[in-house]
A and B are shown apart, each in its own frame.
Chain A
Amino acid sequence: MNKDQMTPMERFSAYDKGEPLDRLPCVPVVGNGAARVLGCKISEFRDNGPLIAEAHLAAYRRFGYDTVRIFTDLYVLAEAMGANVCYPPDETAHLENSAIDDIAHIGRLQPVDPRRDGNLPALLQALEIAHERVGHEVPVAGAVVCPLTTASFLIGTDNLVRMMHRNPEGVHSLCEIALASALNYARAVLDIGCTFGLTEPVSSSTIISPAHFEKFSYPYLKRLCDFMHEHSKPVTLHICGKTERIWPLMADAGADCISIDEMEDLRKTKESVGHRVRVMGNVATAETLLQGSPADVRAETLDCIRKAHDNPRGFIVASGCSLPTEVPFANIDAMLDTVREVGWPVTVAKLDSMT
Chain B
Amino acid sequence: MARSREEILKDLAEGVLNMDEDLAVAVAREAIDIGLDAFDAITNGLVVGMNRAGELYDQEEYFVPELLICSDALYAGLEVLKPHIKKDNARSRIGCVIGVVEGDTHDIGKNLVKIMLDVAGFEIYDLGRNVPLADFVRKAQEVGARLICLSTLMTTTMDSMAAIIRMLEQEGIRDQFKVLIGGGPISQAFADRIGADGYADNAASAVRVANQLFADVKAA
**Given A162-B69, A286-B158, A325-B156, A208:B105 Cβ within 8 A:** no
Q: Contacts of B66 on A, CB cut-off 8 Å?
A: 165, 209
Are A291's CB and B156's CB within 8 A? Answer: no
- Complex Cα–Cα for A95 and B108 (A): 14
* B43-76 vs A, Cβ < 8 Å mask (1 yes, 0 no): 0000000000000000010111110110010000
Q: Is A212 part of the binding interface, using a Cβ–Cβ cutoff of 8 Å?
A: yes
Are B63's CB and A94's CB within 8 A? Answer: no
* A316-337 vs B, Cβ < 8 Å mask (1 yes, 0 no): 0000000011100000000000
Q: Contacts of A95 on B, CB cut-off 8 Å?
A: 105
Are B104's CB and A207's CB within 8 A? Answer: no
Are B60's CB and A287's CB within 8 A? Answer: no
- Complex Cα–Cα for A208 and B60 (A): 10
Q: Is B103 part of the binding interface, using a Cβ–Cβ cutoff of 8 Å?
A: yes
Task: Tell me which of B65, B184, B187 contacts A212 (CB under 8 A).
Answer: B65
For the residues of A in contact with B, the DSSP-based class is mixed
* A216-252 vs B, Cβ < 8 Å mask (1 yes, 0 no): 0000000000000000000000000110010000000
Are A94's CB and B65's CB within 8 A? Answer: no
Q: Is B185 part of the binding interface, using a Cβ–Cβ cutoff of 8 Å?
A: yes
Q: Contacts of A212 on B, CB cut-off 8 Å?
A: 63, 65
* A185-223 vs B, Cβ < 8 Å mask (1 yes, 0 no): 000000000000000000001011100100000000000
Closest CB-CB distance, A174 to chain B, in whole Å? 15
Are B155's CB and A205's CB within 8 A? Answer: no
Are A161's CB and B190's CB within 8 A? Answer: no
Which B residues from 164 to 215 make CB contacts under 8 A with A? 184-187, 189-190
Are B60's CB and A164's CB within 8 A? Answer: no
- Complex Cα–Cα for A135 and B69 (A): 48
Are A205's CB and B60's CB within 8 A? Answer: yes
- Complex Cα–Cα for A165 and B62 (A): 12
Q: Is B19 part of the binding interface, using a Cβ–Cβ cutoff of 8 Å?
A: yes
Are B156's CB and A324's CB within 8 A? Answer: yes
Report which residue of B64, B108, B184, B186 has the largest number of chain A beta carbons within 10 angstroms of its beta carbon. B64
Q: Contacts of B186 on A, CB cut-off 8 Å?
A: 286
Q: Contacts of B151 on A, CB cut-off 8 Å?
A: none
Q: Contacts of B72 on A, CB cut-off 8 Å?
A: 162
Interface residue total, chain A, C-beta cutoff 8 A: 29
**Given A158-B68, A165-B19, A92:B187 Cβ within 8 A:** no
Q: Contacts of B184 on A, CB cut-off 8 Å?
A: 241, 286
Q: Contacts of B156 on A, CB cut-off 8 Å?
A: 91-92, 324-326
* B137-148 vs A, Cβ < 8 Å mask (1 yes, 0 no): 000000000000
Task: Tell me which of A92, A166, A207, A326 contacts B64 (CB under 8 A).
Answer: A207
Q: Is A157 part of the binding interface, using a Cβ–Cβ cutoff of 8 Å?
A: yes
Q: Is A290 part of the binding interface, using a Cβ–Cβ cutoff of 8 Å?
A: yes
Q: Is A181 part of the binding interface, using a Cβ–Cβ cutoff of 8 Å?
A: no
Are B187's CB and A208's CB within 8 A? Answer: no
Are B155's CB and A208's CB within 8 A? Answer: no
Closest CB-CB distance, A294 to chain B, in whole Å? 17
Q: Is A285 part of the binding interface, using a Cβ–Cβ cutoff of 8 Å?
A: yes
* A72-102 vs B, Cβ < 8 Å mask (1 yes, 0 no): 0000000000000000100110111000000
Smallest Cβ-Cβ distance to B19: which chain A residue: A165
Q: Contacts of B60 on A, CB cut-off 8 Å?
A: 205, 242, 245
Task: Tell me which of B68, B104, B155, B189 contacts A162 (CB under 8 A).
Answer: B68
**Given A290-B155, A325-B156, A158:B103 Cβ within 8 A:** no
Closest CB-CB distance, A23 to chain B, in whole Å? 28
Q: Contacts of B190 on A, CB cut-off 8 Å?
A: 286-287, 291
Smallest Cβ-Cβ distance to B108: which chain A residue: A157
Q: Contacts of B155 on A, CB cut-off 8 Å?
A: 285-286, 290, 324-326
Are A208's CB and B63's CB within 8 A? Answer: yes
Are B105's CB and A207's CB within 8 A? Answer: no
- Complex Cα–Cα for A92 and B154 (A): 10
Closest CB-CB distance, A227 to chain B, in whole Å? 28
* B104-117 vs A, Cβ < 8 Å mask (1 yes, 0 no): 11001001000000
Q: Contacts of A285 on B, CB cut-off 8 Å?
A: 155, 185
Q: Contacts of B187 on A, CB cut-off 8 Å?
A: 286-287
- Complex Cα–Cα for A286 and B185 (A): 6
- Complex Cα–Cα for A245 and B63 (A): 13
Task: Tell me which of A88, A91, A165, A205 contacts B65 (CB under 8 A).
Answer: A165
* A267-287 vs B, Cβ < 8 Å mask (1 yes, 0 no): 000000000000000000111
Are B63's CB and A205's CB within 8 A? Answer: yes
- Complex Cα–Cα for A207 and B104 (A): 18
Report which residue of B63, B103, B108, B186 has the largest number of chain A beta carbons within 10 angstroms of its beta carbon. B63
Are B65's CB and A208's CB within 8 A? Answer: yes
Are A161's CB and B64's CB within 8 A? Answer: yes
Q: Contacts of A290 on B, CB cut-off 8 Å?
A: 155, 185
Residues of B within 8 A of A (CB): 19, 60, 62-66, 68-69, 72, 103-105, 108, 111, 154-156, 158, 184-187, 189-190
List 5 additional contacts besides A94-B103, A212-B63, A287-B190; criterion CB under 8 Å.
A88-B103, A95-B105, A165-B19, A208-B64, A208-B65
Query: Ordered nearest first, which 6 A-B pairs have the shortest CB separation?
Result: A286-B185, A324-B155, A161-B65, A209-B63, A164-B65, A207-B64
